[in-house]
Structure 1
Amino acid sequence: MNILMPTDFSENSWNAISYALSFFKNVYTNFYFLHVEPTEWEQDEEDLQTVQVKAKNSATAFQVLLERLGNQQLNNKHQFYTSLERGHFVDTVREHVQERDIDFIVMGTQGASGYKEATVGSHSTEVITRVKCPVLVIPENANYREPKNITFPTDFNISYKNKVIHTLKQVCHFNESALSVLYLSKKSEDLTERQEGNKAYLKEQLLEIDHSFHYTRNDTLEEAVQSFVTSHDTQMITMMAKNLNFFQHILFHPLAKKISYHKEIPFLVLHE
């Protein structure tokens, strides 16, 4: 298993690293830590000196990170590698995904700047929407709880490709998790023929793992998710990036005070 972990050396980034170490504890894993310095500098001497200082500071920060990892209980199934790059963040992440055959990207939601008014940080948002690789997003307030219950909100409007099914089953096998497929709707109406077909296919493909299907109707999708994950003690939420409108409502817009899942529960975003 190859895991890419973009880091800005913040405590939120460290929290994501700690979560990943626990989540993949039973899996032989190569962790690739990546720090990307932006290229907002010109070719004059002063800017070059600034770049050199930043590179030195980042190298030192990586050393501190490795020392911090060394203070953890070591897992002989895990190997660690570091990479310091300069360039456009998303392009660099995409290159590493391709070159290192990355299976999952794991990252914190915001980093050093904190949440402010956003539910998901700008770097996380860019990676989720522009890099076709499963992304596990760890909120800053998320403490590791073994994900025995994973919730998969869906509306059955899109087909489920083999890669998505494989990733779903793979994640459930990591920690022997049960998958709750949650059908969300704003209206009380029967499924269309297409929805019924997608549901039947998904049900057939999930036979080898512990799973269940649930239905809830609510005018506000975020409230429906909040109610379900609370009542079912959910430790992780997974969604498909392809279902963009549905996906954006649940992950990017839950700013109401009574909505807390985006601050506490990790999100696994699936790509085809």
Structure 2
Amino acid sequence: MKRILFPTDFSETATNAFVHALELAKIVEGELILLHTFELPVFDNQFFPENYMVIYESLELSNFDMFKDEIPKLRVIAEEHNLDKIKMTHRLMDGDLVYNITKAIKDDKIDYVVMGTAGASGWSAFFSGTNTGSVLTDIDIPLLSVPVDAKFKPIKTIGFTTRFRPKDKKALKQVLSIAKMANAEVKCLYVKTSKTDVSKDTIKKWEHDFESEPIEFFVITSDEVKETILDFILYKEIDLLTMLTYKRSFFEGLFHPSLTKKFANNFDVPILSIPIEE
């Protein structure tokens, strides 16, 4: 059974992502591990000689009480979406979020992580220093990041961008396995620029290798790569975009607010980041 880690601070952003985490668990026949982390403040105990531990204990208790109060609310959400049969367990951890996520991945043998992020206008911040962006660089398993405005809808079309590298093919096979479980199709895009180095034979080889799979290849000639990808996402009605994390710097530019301005009211596509070696 696949195991999905869902870190949450019980915010609106996280709660929205929770539904996506449940639906992913349903697709892959997995279970959820809910993680809430908190950081205790650092005190100099020479200024708190008598009540030093009392302060820490009260802070820990308040975090536990909040955690205990919020869990039933998530269970109600699961029931409302008829997903209450998904197995859920819980972890409450003190310390740095990224460290605790990395530790939980190892300890609980996690297969996927699902996190919420700020949405189209916040993609630049997402990649340059938010919690989700930090996790993206530190883990070696797929991460599903969900914009706060991305209400779940059945995944029928998965987008995949490629430059037809061997490492891309390995990631595409991962994406296809998810697509089959979701009964979805994959639309694979290559933006052919004036500096392209991909041969027609390479493209034909890929098409031949995947001809029996639920996948459609698109080769679009344009030097406006980022704009072309955004158009592709919108006009092909992509429900889930998959990206390779070795292309992170490229996607930083792709989701910059100035570029997504004209799509601000429509761009609410979750992104599945797949780690791959450079």
TM-score, structure 1 length as denominator? Answer: 0.83
Which of 99, 106, 110 aligns to 1:91? It is 99
- Tell me what 1:30 maps to: 31
The 8 Å contact of residues 5 and 31 in structure 1, kept in 2 or not, is answered as: yes
Q: Secondary structure at the match of 2:34?
A: strand
- Tell me what 1:64 maps to: 73
- Tell me what 1:149 maps to: 157
Deviates more, 1:21-30 or 1:142-151: 21-30
Provide the rounded CA distance (Å) in 2 between the counterparts of 1:50 and 1:20: 29
- How many residue pairs match? The answer is 264
Gaps of 5+ in 1: none
The 8 Å contact of residues 122 and 257 in structure 2, kept in 1 or not, is answered as: no
Which of 116, 123, 134 aligns to 1:126? It is 134
Over residues 226-255 of structure 1, what are the superposed CA-to-partner deviations in whole Å (9 max), with x where a residue is unaligned?
A: 21122211111101002233233224x244
Matches within 5 A, 1:37-76: 37-42=38-43, 44=48, 45=52, 47-48=55-56, 49-76=58-85
Which amino acid in the other structure matches residue 246 of structure 2? Answer: K
Distance 1:261 1:104, change over 3 A: farther
Gaps of 5+ in 2: none
RMSD of Structure 2 on Structure 1 (CA): 3.0
Provide the rounded CA distance (Å) in 2 between the counterparts of 1:209 and 1:81: 35
Displacement of 1:168: 1.1
Distance 1:159 1:190, change over 3 A: same
- Tell me what 2:12 maps to: 11
Provide the rounded CA distance (Å) in 1 between the counterparts of 2:41 and 2:160: 40
- Tell me what 2:178 maps to: 171
The 8 Å contact of residues 221 and 249 in structure 1, kept in 2 or not, is answered as: no
Distance 1:29 1:230, change over 3 A: same
TM-score, structure 2 length as denominator? Answer: 0.81
Q: Which has the larger radius of gyration?
A: 2
Displacement of 1:184: 2.3
Provide the rounded CA distance (Å) in 1 between the counterparts of 2:245 and 2:201: 21
